[in-house]
């Protein structure tokens, strides 16, 4: 995790890191690896979590920087390749809040859970209320918990491991 250039409102740096790390936990295959000076979104061999100005209304983005196509597996009719490097970035231009103090801000833990869903291989769903739905409203704290649709997608990928 590289906390440099983190959001200026409304969570402390330690709260930002805690909220981001909490988004990794629901996806059992991923884990937090500690701090780094890597900035993310570039091929450097580091799975980086960082902050930046992403533009528009994008709250977070997951970049599949590198995959190993020699390590593939067919699972439920889908060809899966092993990710070697995945970087996750959060937009530092938004107001990030928690449920205790929300007033027009966004749930960093929920957006983190969504982005790490991408990091483990999930795409967007058309099921409203699911973590992997492509948008979330201000002060909506429902997406930090996985919905049945999210769990089903995860199981479809990882049931063949």
What are the pLDDT digits (tens) for 3-31?
999 998 889 999 999 999 999 999 987 78
- Residue 66 pLDDT class (50, 70, 90 cuts): confident
- Residue 68 pLDDT class (50, 70, 90 cuts): confident
- Residue 77 pLDDT class (50, 70, 90 cuts): confident
Q: Identify the top-confidence range among 101-105, 118-122, 129-133.
A: 129-133
What average pLDDT does the chain have? 89
Does pLDDT of 120 surpass 80? yes
For residues 33-37, give the mean pLDDT: 87
Q: How many residues does the chain have?
A: 161
* H or E stretch covering 28: none
pTM beyond 0.85: the answer is yes
- Residue 135 pLDDT class (50, 70, 90 cuts): very high
In angstroms, the CA 103 to CA 91 distance is 18
CA distances from 130 to 64, 72, 105, 141, 145 (A): 22, 28, 19, 11, 9
- Residue 161 pLDDT class (50, 70, 90 cuts): low
Query: Which bin fits 41, alpha (ψ -120 to 50), beta or left (φ > 0)?
Result: left
Tell me what pLDDT residue 156 has: 85
């Amino acid at each position: 995790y590289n906390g440099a250039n983190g959001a200026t409102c409304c969570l402390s740096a330690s709260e930002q890191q805690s909220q981001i790390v909490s988004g990794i936990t629901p996806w059992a295959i991923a884990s937090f690896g500690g701090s780094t000076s890597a900035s993310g979104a570039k091929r450097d061999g580091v799975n980086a979590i960082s902050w930046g100005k992403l533009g528009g209304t994008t709250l977070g983005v997951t970049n599949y920087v590198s995959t190993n196509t020699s390590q593939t597996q067919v699972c439920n009719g889908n060809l899966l390749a092993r990710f070697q490097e995945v970087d996750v970035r959060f937009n530092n231009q938004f107001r990030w809040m928690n449920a205790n103090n929300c007033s027009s801000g966004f749930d960093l833990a929920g957006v983190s859970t969504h982005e790490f869903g991408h990091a483990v291989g999930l795409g967007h769903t058309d099921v409203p209320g699911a973590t992997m739905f492509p948008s979330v409203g201000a002060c909506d704290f429902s997406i930090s918990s996985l919905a049945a649709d999210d769990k089903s997608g995860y199981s479809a990928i990882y049931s063949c491991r």
